[in-house]
Amino acid sequence: MRSTALQCLQLYSPLSCLEGFTELGYYNGSVSQTDSGALCLRWTEFPDYVLQYPGRGLGEHSYCRNPDRESNPWCFFRQTSGAIGWAYCDCHQGAARLVGGTSSGSGRVEVYLNGQWGAVCDSHWTYRDASVICRQLGLGEIGTALQRSRFGSGSGLFHYERLGCRGDESSISQCRSRTFVTGDCSHGNEAGVVCAPPEGSGPPLRLVGGEEDFEGRVEVFHGNRWGSVCDDQWDHRDAEVVCRQLGFGGVAKAWSWAHFGQGSGPIQLDAVRCTGNELFLDQCLHGDWEQHNCDHMEDAGVSCSPYTGTHTYFNHACMHTNKHTFQKQI
């Protein structure tokens, strides 16, 4: 059961319209809906305005604008009576939030579009997309992508089939390969994310190349890049610490000889020697960072027990201990 002693606030990051303003005070963002949910009309339907305000961003589009330098962008829309009206725009369009997680830094990803919150399909969900979500929410630069509704299913409404982020965008509105859902997504396909851990919880880990989310090649984020771990002296005690840091308990299996494929980045650690009681991998004895005598044929891997993990999240605001089925650290 989720602890009721203290509740973490769920993060919700509206895309303030201020983010789309130019230095001259004109809004040039992509919000195209009024604050009441009405869709904006194309500016070319109002040629007098286009002529009156040349060079103010009006054209063959329905994005909100403020050609008269109003403090908030606005647009024309069609009322239910058929008459034309104008209204200020919905600055929550494109907002993101995390739902159902065990902390403020984890959860099912939901995006606000057209007046409704909806999920993102996990079929093309990558760590690049997850990292942009974390950055937009102010949760750091690193996001771990989780599939298969690890944080439960939502309302059933999906907005995006893919985000297609490069990974360096400040918000998902800047991801140029966004595609809206085509109907191929359903309950059980909601994307989730775990953002970078709080300070003092060890360098982030991820599992790569496994058929399931709870197994794969062990990679560590250090020196602003991901890298693998050499399998010299790698055993079940090391694997148990990795799985514990990622939120799993129970039996853990250690794999050697690049069982989950070879990495391509640096080899971050060698000669890892855990007792099995550590909370984080970097608490174990190990060689100096990026000092090794290995190649990627010796990349270490683990298989964790997916359903027996007890995960504890620590930060300055709250602590939860939950039994759950998702992986990756916070």
Work out the pLDDT band at 24, boundaries 50, 70, 90. Answer: low
Q: Which residue ranges make up each domain of the chain?
A: 32-90, 93-195, 205-323
pLDDT at 327: 29
CA angle 90, 91, 97 (to 5 degrees): 110
Lowest mean pLDDT among 239-243, 307-311, 319-323: 319-323
pLDDT at 231: 93
> Does position 202 have pLDDT exceeding 80, yes or no?
no
Q: Do residues 131 and 167 lie in contact, with contact meaning Cβ atoms separated by under 8 Å?
A: yes
The amino acid that residue 13 corresponds to is S
- Average pLDDT on 118-125 reads 86
> Does position 178 have pLDDT exceeding 50, yes or no?
yes
| Of the ranges 149-158, 196-205, 234-243, the best mean pLDDT one | 234-243
The H-assigned helical ranges of 236-279 are 236-245
The predicted-structure confidence for 287-300, as pLDDT tens digits, reads as follows 999 999 999 999 99
Reported residue count of the chain is 330
Q: Do residues 243 and 290 lie in contact, with contact meaning Cβ atoms separated by under 8 Å?
A: no
Output phi, psi for 44, to 5 deg.
Answer: -70, -10
- Structure-model confidence comparison of residues 235 and 103, the more confident one: 235
Work out the pLDDT band at 38, boundaries 50, 70, 90. Answer: confident
The H-assigned helical ranges of 83-192 are 127-136
Q: Which residues contact 211 (CB under 8 A, 6 or more apart)?
A: none
Distance of alpha carbon 303 from alpha carbon 295, whole angstroms: 21
Q: What is the CATH number of domain 32-90?
A: 2.40.20.10
Does residue 11 come out as left (phi exceeding 0), alpha (psi in the -120 to 50 range) or beta? beta
pLDDT at 39: 85
CATH superfamily of this structure's domain 93-195: SRCR-like domain (3.10.250.10)
Work out the pLDDT band at 22, boundaries 50, 70, 90. Answer: low
> Does position 313 have pLDDT exceeding 70, yes or no?
no
- Structure-model confidence comparison of residues 273 and 128, the more confident one: 273
Q: Do residues 303 and 215 lie in contact, with contact meaning Cβ atoms separated by under 8 Å?
A: yes
Q: Which residues pair with 220 in a beta bridge?
A: 205, 227
142-152 in b/e form (b: 16+ CB < 10 A) is bbbbbbebbbe
Burial classification of residue 79, based on how many CB atoms lie within 10 Å of its CB (0-12 exposed, 13-18 middle, 19 or more buried): exposed
pLDDT at 299: 97
> Does position 7 have pLDDT exceeding 50, yes or no?
no
- 230 alpha carbon, distance to own chain's centre: 28
How many CB atoms within 10 Å of residue 27?
A: 26
How big is the chain by its Cα radius of gyration, in Å? 23
Work out the pLDDT band at 259, boundaries 50, 70, 90. Answer: very high
- Average pLDDT on 193-208 reads 76
pLDDT at 224: 85
The predicted-structure confidence for 87-116, as pLDDT tens digits, reads as follows 888 666 677 889 888 777 888 999 887 667
Q: Do residues 121 and 160 lie in contact, with contact meaning Cβ atoms separated by under 8 Å?
A: yes
pLDDT at 329: 29
Q: Do residues 170 and 96 lie in contact, with contact meaning Cβ atoms separated by under 8 Å?
A: no
Equal fold, 32-90 vs 93-195: no
Has this prediction a pTM greater than 0.85?
Answer: no
CATH number for 205-323: choose from 3.10.250.10, 3.60.150.10, 3.40.710.10, 1.25.40.80: 3.10.250.10
- Average pLDDT on 195-204 reads 69
> Does position 173 have pLDDT exceeding 80, yes or no?
no
Distance of alpha carbon 11 from alpha carbon 275, whole angstroms: 36
> Does position 213 have pLDDT exceeding 70, yes or no?
yes
CA angle 131, 136, 138 (to 5 degrees): 95
> Does position 232 have pLDDT exceeding 70, yes or no?
yes
